[in-house]
A and B are shown apart, each in its own frame.
Chain A
């Protein structure tokens, strides 16, 4: 039983080491290649500030869509007057278009 425990423990350590070190080994392998570029071990470019902004804008866009739908539902269920609804809806759609414009200006996300 003691021998089995030792074998199992060593196997677990080896497996963990392999899993955890894989990204670093891949990066080193890519760095040693003559055709190495700035690719990260997962095949993706280092994170650029525009990627952060795209993520933020996409999340903001989804939130804005939801807000527009909520406002329309508020109007249709009688919680907003038509004047208030038109004003708020116009504001929200303008904000949404701003977000979409900012998204369009960013370079496309790399595959």
Chain B
């Protein structure tokens, strides 16, 4: 079936080429049937790539090791869930996932716009097919997911142990959905510029896709952060890694776009800015894919061994040059229809918010690509680390949170000083109230964290005030009970109140970040069984060692040959809090020089973190057992020289028994971090708010019906 898969790729490439030609010919000649044929090419592409994806999935699920990707990233002992998700753990499979998701989202976008903006949609079709064709051609010519090998190996290499984690399996589809959804507005933006139709209709068409791209990217970023915190042994959730930054940059510009889009909708302003943001977001999404797949920067994510750098650089150069040309050549039609009425207005706050978001993006862009730029200029590679990023991003993040609290309480067009003073009383009161409480509690050692907490309280106060006042207004008009009034308020103003909930979620998330990074207690030390240490206000005692060997005891399906760990008893003020079971997995390697027994555990060890999470704090532990203690090394050496390969596991079992009987001192890393859970809770709140904001409102349908006549439309507008 590999032949069918590769045939699908070739057919997909042909369809992309045809669709581009048909769409462009159709729109230039006015022959609608060719534009329609181009649209159908996108639907056909989605169908073809679905077949290709199914072929690869079946190969993984059926352990068909004739496929190189299956042999390289799966094995018979890999659980079915991980086998199904292993499709996108390789370079080739991830390219197929990207192209497939691109074709699906493109099909949806064209289906939803099939009755409007035909000229814009035709250009957008050509551009989306161009992106799809680029990724399909990478697979056809550089990284074929359907390449086979003969003779067929009896067993595969297995999934990278770092990826044996549920959220890590969902993280790539979410991120890639975000990246591909961000290219939809880019395609329609370029199409609008090419067709010279940048107007209200174009905004309406792309808004949902921009929002969906923002949402998927955000969720993908959070899933990756959760994986980093729960799986990797360093205890953090964000390390300013190049690939982390690559996904954050388009998310920041998409956030800016979603805000400034509202200004263009209402006032016809910021057209150049919005078009530029849309093009920048799509380009940054492609650049993010470039960083992940080209391996051009050192990163824990750089799984791909091949470099696809040159084709990507060409595509990015074309995107940047094309975007600049289109914006400059169409600048006359992008002139603003109105000017800012007042600097004390929501428009002004959104403008400030945009500048901060783009500033954040620029800082991160510079810090991420600095190694490349430095190498190009000086010939020597350099890098910037977390302290550099923190120095510039923290102040900007504080300003962002402040603005997210000011925006909701300022009116569109203009606000008076008297109104502003009245509207800021409650939010400022909340901030000052919390400051007083924290001062009394003695939580003042970290001024920046303190500022963030107070700003978050400011946001909670302003959002809470908005809900209260809105519900009160609703009750005054409709006489509803308070809970119903709140529901009706949100239902009839989904965008506004969904957005408020998103702001609330972001504030909660930033509180979690500030607290966990500023007030964390950490300790790294060696312990033997029976010994204990203090971490913050917690006492951690190493009770006894643990050892398990696969396959029989590998409950977590880690795939490790041997897992050595510990039982840790955590208490506070003499009361038992929790029991933790950190371990480190030792995996087999292909190094024959390590011997028959040594190679069973000679691969890269992977830490399996133990975590007790709660609403107020997380207790986190990782272990690095000393497997190189002399009496354990002797077992390996003896096994290497006396045992045949098929009996090597006997020596491993003996080693495990000796480890339990005579455990050497192990290195531990402990952390007690306050409010980490708030980061994930904040993410859920953002998700909920975003879904509310993006959900189509029934009032839109009613407005259309009511707008048949001038008199009825005016009456219909009178309702809140």
Contact = CB atoms under 8 A, between A and B. Distances in A.
Contacts of A8: 4
B473 A73 contact: yes
Given A40-B32, A59-B201, A79-B423, A69 B470 contact: no
Contacts of A68: 717
B15 A77 contact: no
Given A55-B116, A65-B703, A74-B412, A20 B32 contact: no
A65 B717 contact: yes
B340 to A, nearest CB: 15
A37 to B, nearest CB: 14
Contact of A73 (B32, B116, B496, B716): B496
B547 to A, nearest CB: 46
A97 interface: yes
A84 interface: yes
A47 B11 contact: no
Contacts of B7: 5, 9, 12
> How many residues of A sit at the interface, in one of the four size bands?
35 or more
Does more than half of chain A's interface fall in helix, strand or loop, or is it mixed? helix
Given A56-B199, A73-B473, A16 B33 contact: no
B204 interface: yes
Contacts of A56: 197, 199-201
A96 B11 contact: no
A43 to B, nearest CB: 11
Given A24-B37, A41-B33, A69-B493, A1 B266 contact: no
B36 A55 contact: no
A22 to B, nearest CB: 7
A107 interface: no
> How many residues of B sit at the interface, in one of the four size bands?
35 or more
Interface string A53-91: 001101111110111111111101111110010001000
B8 interface: yes
Nearest to A31: B33
Interface string B470-487: 100100110000000000
A106 interface: no
Interface string B1-42: 101100110010001001100100000001111101100110
A78 B469 contact: yes
Given A24-B34, A41-B32, A76-B473, A16 B44 contact: yes
Interface in B38-68: 40-41, 43-44, 47-48, 51
A15 B46 CA distance: 13
Contacts of B112: none
A84 B4 CA distance: 67
B658 interface: no
Contacts of A34: none
A63 B266 contact: yes
A107 to B, nearest CB: 15
Contacts of B204: 59, 62-63
B119 A59 contact: no
Contacts of B717: 65, 68-69, 93, 96
Given A12-B48, A65-B703, A96 B713 contact: yes
A36 interface: no
B544 interface: no
Given A76-B720, A81-B419, A70 B496 contact: yes
A60 B203 CA distance: 10
B720 A73 contact: yes
Interface string B125-143: 0000000000000000000
Interface of B: 1, 3-4, 7-8, 11, 15, 18-19, 22, 30-34, 36-37, 40-41, 43-44, 47-48, 51, 116-119, 197, 199-201, 203-204, 265-266, 409-416, 418-419, 422-423, 466, 469-470, 473, 476-477, 492-493, 495-496, 700, 703-704, 707, 710, 713-714, 716-720
17 contacts: A5-B1, A5-B7, A13-B11, A23-B36, A26-B33, A52-B197, A55-B116, A63-B203, A63-B204, A67-B266, A69-B493, A73-B496, A76-B476, A77-B466, A78-B423, A79-B409, A84-B413
Given A52-B117, A67-B266, A79-B411, 15 more contacts: A1-B1, A5-B3, A16-B47, A20-B44, A22-B37, A41-B32, A47-B118, A63-B265, A69-B719, A72-B718, A76-B476, A77-B466, A84-B411, A96-B713, A100-B707
